[in-house]
Amino acid sequence: MSPEPAPEPSDRQLSEFRQRPEPRQHREPRHVAVIGAGLAAVSLCAALRAGGYTGALTVLGDEPCQPYDRPPLSKQFLAGERGAAEIAVQPAEWYADQGIDMRLGIAVAALDADTGRVELADGSALAADVLVLATGGRARRLTAPGGQAALVLRTRADAEALRERLVPGTRVLIAGAGLIGAEVAATATHRGCRVTLVDPNPLPMEQVLGPQAARALHAQHAAHGVPVVRGGVFAVEPGEVTLSTGASVPADLVMAGIGIVPNVELAQDAGLDVDNGVLVDAGMRTSAPDVYAIGDIARITGSAHRFEQHRSEHWDNARRTADAAARSILGLPQEARRAPWFWTDRYGTHLEMTGFYDPAAEAVPRGDIEAGAGTVFYIRDGRCVGAVSLDRPLDIRAAQRMIDRDVPVRVEQLADEGTDLRKLLANKRSDASGG
C-alpha cells in the first residue's frame, strides 16, 4: 500500500481527458459488471444495493477464492494469527443474499468500452450496461539478476507461500522499507527470523510521513534487531544478495516489497485514457461513457481539490472510490471529499496518517512521537493539511475533521496537550455559525 502520490498526468492526456463527452443523462442500468474482486469491488456492490439498485450485479475475479482484506496479509494472516475465513471481506452467503453473481477463478481477456461486452479467458462472454474496473495491481518484481527468485506479497497465495518459509532462524532479506516491507520485517522477526531491510533512501518513509515520524519508525527496526542497510539489490544468488554498494548480505529468503504496478492493461487495450492509472473524474467516470474505475487503478484528474489529482493504494481509498462510483451509477450527488487516511502496524505499535505531509508546512509536535507516542500536525496558512500519529488515533480523528472542515487552527493550541481537540473543533463550529 504505497502512500506516495504518483506523478501528475501529462498535459496532453489531461487535456484529452477533460474534453471527453459529458455523462449521458442518467438511467438506472439493468446490469452492472465489476472486473476485479477485491475490497473496492465488494464495497461498490454493497453501496449499490444500499442505494436501492435492484438490477443484475456480476463480479469477475481471477483469483479462485472469495474476496479478502489485504492489510492482514502482512500482519495477522502472515503471522498465522488469523485464517482465511477471518480476513474475508464478507461471508460467502452475503453475495447470494445480495443477488451478486460471483464468477471467480477466471481472468478477463478483453472488454469493449462501447458495447459493454466482456470476454473471459475461458471463451465465454457477457454484456452489461455499466462496467466498473477494479483490477487493482500486481506486486513489482526485482529486476536484478536472480531477482525472479524473490518472493512478493500481494495475494493471499503469496502470503501463504511466504508464511511457510518464515521459520525460526531463517535469514530474510527484504528489499524496500516502506509499509509492506517494514510490516513483513516485524512479522518475520516475531516468528524468529533474522531480518535485514534494504532501502535506497537514507530515512525510509520520510517523504510520506515527515522526518520525525520516519525517525520514530526507523528506530523501531534497530530496537528489534533489524538492520536497515542503504542501497539497492544488485544480484540475488543462492544464500547471498549483492547490493548496489558492493556489500554482500547472507540470505536464505529474499522478498521484494517495492510497490505495485497498476493493472491497466485491459483499460488501455479498450482505448481508455491511462497514465500510471486509469484517469477518472471525481465520480470515478473514465474517458468512456458507462465505464468506471475504482480502487488502486483509479487516478482522479480535473479537480482543484487538494486531496485529488493522484492515485492512492490504501484500504480507505478503495471504499471511498467505490462509494463515489456507486453514487454516479445511481445518479446521486457526490459527497464532499474527505482527507485521505491510512495506517500501519508494526512491532506492537500503531501509526496513522491523514492528509499529506507538506515539507513547506510547519511541523507542530503534540507529545513526543520519537519517544513512542505522539502526533505531528502539519500546518500551512493557519490550516491543518496533514497529521501523523504513533499510538494516538484520537488525534488523527480530530485532524481529519480539521482538514475536512478547513477550520483555522493555532499552533500553540495544537502543541498544548492540555487543549481538548474536540472542544477546539466545537469552538470552531461555534465561531463559524456566529455563536
pLDDT of amino acid 9: 43
Q: What pLDDT score does 24 carry?
A: 52
Find cell 478477463 and name the residue.
108
Mean per-residue pLDDT, 335-339: 86
Q: So what's the pLDDT on residue 303? A: 53
Structural domain boundaries in the chain: 11-138+260-330, 141-256, 348-433
Q: CATH number of the domain at 348-433, please? A: 3.30.390.30
φ/ψ of 242, rounded to 5, equals: -95, 130
Predicted pLDDT at 2: 38
Would you say residue 295 has pLDDT above 70?
yes
Separation between Cα atoms, residue 273 and residue 394, nearest integer Å: 40
Query: CATH assignment of 141-256?
Result: 3.50.50.60
Mean per-residue pLDDT for 247-260? Answer: 96
**Tens of pLDDT, residues 261-277:** 999 999 999 999 999 99
CATH class name, domain 11-138+260-330: alpha beta
Confidence at residue 3, expressed as pLDDT on a 0 to 100 scale: 39
Given this model, what pLDDT does residue 26 score?
Answer: 67
pLDDT grade, residue 336 (50/70/90)? confident
What is the model's pLDDT at position 337? Answer: 81
Strand bridging mode 228-230 / 194-199: parallel
pTM: predicted TM-score of the whole model, two decimal places: 0.89
Would strands 171-175 and 291-293 be described as parallel, antiparallel, or unpaired? unpaired
Q: State the pLDDT at residue 106.
A: 94
Nearest CA to 183 among 141, 143, 226? 226
Measure CA 113 to chain center: 26
pLDDT tens-digit readout, 134-191: 999 999 999 999 999 999 999 999 999 999 999 999 999 999 999 999 999 999 999 9
pLDDT above 90 covers a percentage of the chain that reads: 83
Is the pLDDT assigned to residue 432 strictly greater than 50?
no
Average pLDDT of every residue of the chain? 90
pLDDT of residue 25: 61
Average pLDDT over residues 343-351: 95
- 339-342 contact pairs (CB < 8 A, 24+): 339/307, 339/386, 339/399, 339/400, 339/403, 339/404, 340/307, 340/312, 340/314, 340/316, 341/314, 341/316, 341/396, 341/400, 342/1, 342/3, 342/179, 342/314, 342/315, 342/316
pLDDT in tens, 280-294: 999 999 999 999 999
Matching fold, domains 11-138+260-330 and 141-256: yes
